[in-house]
Each structure stands twice: as C-alpha cells, then as structure tokens.
Amino acid sequence: MSHVSKIFDENFIEYASYVIRDRAIPDLLDGFKPVQRRIIHTLLEMDDGRYHKVANVVGATMKYHPHGDASIYEALVNLTNCNLFIEGQGNFGNFLTGDGAAAGRYIECRLLPLAKKVLYSPEITEYIDSYDGRNREPVVFPAKLPVVVVQGTSGIAVGMKTDILPHNLLEVIDAQEAILRGEEIALYPDFPGGGIVDVSAYDDGCGFVSVRARLDVSDPKKIIITELPYGVTSEQMIDSIEDAAKKGKLHIASINDFTADTANIEINLQRNTYTKDMVDALYAYTKCENKISVNPIVIVDDLPKVMPITEMVRFHARHLIDTLTQELHIERGHLVDKLHARTLERIFIEERIYKRIENKNTQEAVNKAVITGFKPFAAELVRELDDDDVERLLKIPIRRISLFDIEKNRSDIEEINAAIAACDEHLAHIVEYALSYLEDLKASIDQDLWKRKTEIGSFGITDAKQIAVRNLELRYDESTGYIGTNMKTGEPLIKVSSYDKIFYMKKDGSYRVINVSDKEFIGTEGIFYINYAEKELLQNVVFTMIFREKESKFYFINRFLITSFITGKLYSILPQGNYKLVKLAIFPNAVITAKYKPGCGYRVMEETFRFADFPVRKTPQTNGIKIITKQLASLTLRQIKDSATSEEAEPTLFDGEEGDKK
C-alpha cells in the first residue's frame, strides 16, 4: 500500500507542477502562459508586416503547443482583444455583449510594433527544443515591461488560482519610470469597459475591488447603463435586472439593449417610480455592482509566488536595466566587430596587401602573406588578426577593391566609433538610458487608445439588506402550521423583506430565528410574539413567564431577555424538568393577582406580586423564583400604566387547569 501511495504522490506532484508551470500560471518575466508565448513566437517567425489568417497562425503554433488547436485559438483571440501586442482584422468578438469571435478561417491578425520593441531580443533569449524536438522555442521572452500587470490574467492550477486585474499601459510605464527615479508608486486597475472602481481594499493587488456600472440618471423616468462593470456582459446584466424585477425588488416597465461598440442598456421605470429611488436598488440587487477578489500568483524562478503589483513593477524596473545592459553589450560587440572589419578592409586595400598573394601557390602561403602584411599596422587594429578575418578579406571581389572609396570607409569608421561611444555613454548612465527608452516607448503608443477608462471612486458595497423595502406580508396559518410570504390564508403578522430574519416565540414557550421564506412549517401551537431578529429590538423586550412544577404544583416566575441565538435552532424558555407554562407576557410592568382555593385552611386568600419586584435576567435558561406554594383558584395579570389606573392588555397564556382564568 505504501508503494502505491508513493506512486500516486509522485505522479500527483509531477502533474501539479506541470499544470502550474506549463499551463495555468504566467511567468513574471514576460507575463505569458506557455500557449501565449508560443503564439507570439510563431507570429515573430511569420511576421512580414501583413495580416495572417488566424487559422494559419493556429496551425503554425501547433508545432510548439501539444494541446490542440482549440486552446491556441482561444488564447490568440484573448491576446488580440488586449490590443497590446497583436492587431486583429475581422470579428474577434465583443466583450460587452459576450459574443464570440468568428472562426479562425475568417479573421486575421498580425504583430504590432510594440511586440518587437518590448519582447524581441533573440540574442539574449534562451531557446529549448519543442515538445517533439523538431523546433526551438523560447523559454521566456526578456520583456521590458510587466506584461502581466498590463494585460491581467486568470488561471486555475492544482491547489491554486491566480487572478490579476488589467492596468493602464501608460500608467505602468510611468510607474516604472518613477521606480527608476527612486519614487514611490501606486497602481490601480483600469478596465477596457470603463465603469467605476473602489480600490480602498485593493491592497496592492492582494485584496479585492468593488466595481460599478456607470449610470445615466439625467431622466427621472429612465436609467441608462453606459458602462458595464468588469467581467459582466450586457446579457448577464439584463438577466440580473429581470430577475430582480420578478422578485419585486425593482419596478421597471421595460428594458432595451442597444449595446454595440459601447454599452447602452435602457431601463424604463414603472408609473410612480423614479430614477432616484431605483439607483441604490440596481447596485444592491443586480450586477451593476460587483466585488472582485484578486490573487496575484506568478511563476518566479520556476516556482509559484504571490507577488504584489508594485513588487512586480519594481522587479521589471530592475529587469529592464539588466536587459538593456545586455543588449548594449551585444550591440557594442557587433559594432566592434564591424569596426574591426572596416579597419582590416581599409588597410588591406589602401596598403595593397592583396598584392602579396599574387605569386603564392598554396593556401597556407596566401594566409601567411596576408598576416605578414598586417604586422606593420598592428597598432591600428582593434584586435589581433585571426583566420576568419583572413578568410573574409580574401573573399573581397576585385571589382570592390578597384572601386574602394577610402573617404566613405573613414566616414563609416567614424560613425561606428560614434556608435560605440554612445553605447559606452549609455552603459555609464544606464538608468538615464532606461528612462529615455521608456519615454520613447510611451511616445510610440496611441495615447487615445490607452487613456484611462475606469474612474477611481470611493463607495462601499451596497448592502441589499439596508436598502431592502419591507413590502412583503408575512402570514401565519395556525390551522396548518405554515408561515411565509407566499401564503393566501392565515393571519397577517408583519411586513418584511426577503433579506430579513424573524424571531418568533410560540405559545408553548419555544422560540426560533428563521430567514424569511415563501413557506415554512413551524407548528400549530400558535404564535405569542414575533419581531425582526435584530438585537437592538429584542434587547428592549422583557419576557415574563410563570410556570408550574407538575409534581409539587409550585409556581415560579422568571423575567428574562433574549439577545443571543443561532438561526434555525429551536429553543425553549422552560427549564429542564417536568414543568408546565402557565402565563407568558411582555408587559413592561404588571401586577400578578393570585386567589387561593377556599377550604384549604389558608388564612390569606389572595396575594399580589409586581413584575418590578423580580430581577430581569439575560437568559431564559434559569430555574426561576418560587412565588406560590398554595392551591390556586385563579391567577391574573394586569398591566400597570400609571399609579392611578391599571389595565390588563397584550397577549397572555393560560393553562386552563385548576380554574385558571383571565
């Protein structure tokens, strides 16, 4: 059994690691999941400035992605709709209406210039064999921006889930610049559909945000939804509004959807209902307001890690410095190679070294003659002459030698030296160079396209309970034992909303707190007291009960409050044992009159007690205080209103035994 468990454990860990790293969680370096990275790599290979059929791109990507064309197509459509690295032509769907994209054979795409500027640097990119070993694919792109922060992402892996909201590209670049200048930053989400977002609990991408639709309330009889909350389509919005209307929470006459390029949902209100009365209800009962939780998990050094948004941007600010430094060193190396080649070419032709090989009969003699010819000019060379340099010089055609332009050569060398000096200057002031790179990048971006769309506001989640209207009639039918808001028979009790909790006490002394429902069975004993289950209300209600021990026939009194309870749990006010409830009242103050049976030898035939003489306890679960030990003829309660008068009022229970009467 232990061997089998070990096999399961090893296979599960291997599978979980694969799903986490190679399927669901993006890498922090380039912000891509593997399928997205393979799509970008394929488009870089196919890039010729023209559009490519999406079906062709999907097919070409299958060389690298072993999970079929459906996942590639879906990922490509999503990447295109981000408008960051891929430009689409045709119907790529509509995130406002929820309509899907057209088939891959009908739509086209191509890389945007920003993709090459931010991602493409093959000389510092690590490549590995594809899944079948026939091709090479990048491990990760050396991205110069925190792509995952800009695009956002979501993914479910084994035992973990990542959710990162999209942010504004220009604001992210500004944040990188601020970090390079040593300044503090704060970044907040920006959604393509606009709307309003409350970021008070965002917690740098580790908390949650509240998002709201933007409402046009200029017409007192009509509300127009002009911007949808993130993740909500117009169809979902309409369904939520219609559902709320069916439940009586909204009073609308009609709803029309004119959403196309922008959201436009028109809500017409019923007669005697006005816009100002419906706004809070829309936020409380429909998808006009949502709460979105976030969990920023990314792959860092092959391991999943929770990383706040600003930490991701700080990482990429450092990574930008490293990437630009590597690129400058590589560029400088290419310039040095070019300078070396130009210098060799000038000396080879200007000093007529090529003449030395005219009478040489072997390749070795030719190479030696060239090397010997360069010895007097060693001080002018960038580095020592090697066999590759000799081979390259010997391939110069005669026509080029005869037309050699010494002035142009010197001009080229000056340009190369200037470029090398510029590289050295950039390397010496790499932070300033990184800032200028980001400024150039920002200048190449469409400012109108990336203007902030979502307004940052401050609002708490609208509590449906707080704005709920108590317009439902709660009825109780003692003959059937049912209570609820969807009943035609029974006694009307109180007006409630569907969000209320109700406290009730029955005539047998049992009590319970329940949620308001259409219909629920509670028993046929009858209801003595009912109220909203709010502690502020119940803490002001003093219950007084008189109960009898059946064996001794002694009577006890207990006065108590009920302030704690568990919803749905049935309680009893009677103590444990053989007791019977005699009277139950909620009088603030009252007089108890006890008349005793004649013929029993009692000298005192009548006694009175006042409620005020007995303490009020914080719980009903007590044994009570003994007040009567004689045989009763009758027991009555009279509520005291003032010193001059007394009046019996409010419900009171009697057990009907021993002549008890009111």
Active-site positions read 106
Contact 250, 297 (CB under 8 A): no
Q: Which of 443, 187, 200 is nearest to 317 (CA)?
A: 187
Question: Which tokens is 73 given?
Answer: 């197509």
Q: Is 494 left (phi over 0), alpha (psi -120 to 50) or beta?
A: beta
Q: Which of 454, 516, 524 is nearest to 485 (CA)?
A: 516
Contact 406, 346 (CB under 8 A): yes
Give the list of residues 6+ apart from residue 52 with CB closer than 8 angstroms, or none.
43, 46, 108, 109, 110
Helix (H, G, I), strand (E, B) or coil at 384: coil
Q: Which of 320, 311, 309, 323 is nearest to 153 (CA)?
A: 309
**How buried is 229 (Cβ within 10 angstroms: 0-12 exposed, 13-18 middle, 19+ buried)?**
buried
- C-alpha dist (Å) from residue 310 to 120, 184, 186, 331: 24, 9, 7, 31
Determine the straight-line distance between the first and last CA of the chain, rounded to whole angstroms: 76
CA 658 to chain centre: 68
State how far the Cα of 217 lies from the Cα of 532, in Å rounded to an integer. 34
State how far the Cα of 523 lies from the Cα of 521, in Å rounded to an integer. 6
State how far the Cα of 555 lies from the Cα of 621, in Å rounded to an integer. 16
In 332-404, DSSP assigns E strands to none
Across the beta sheet with 646-647, the strand order is 606-610, 590-596, 632-640, 646-647
CA 509 to chain centre: 48
State how far the Cα of 467 lies from the Cα of 284, in Å rounded to an integer. 8
In 203-273, DSSP assigns E strands to 208-212, 214-219, 222-227, 252-257, 265-269
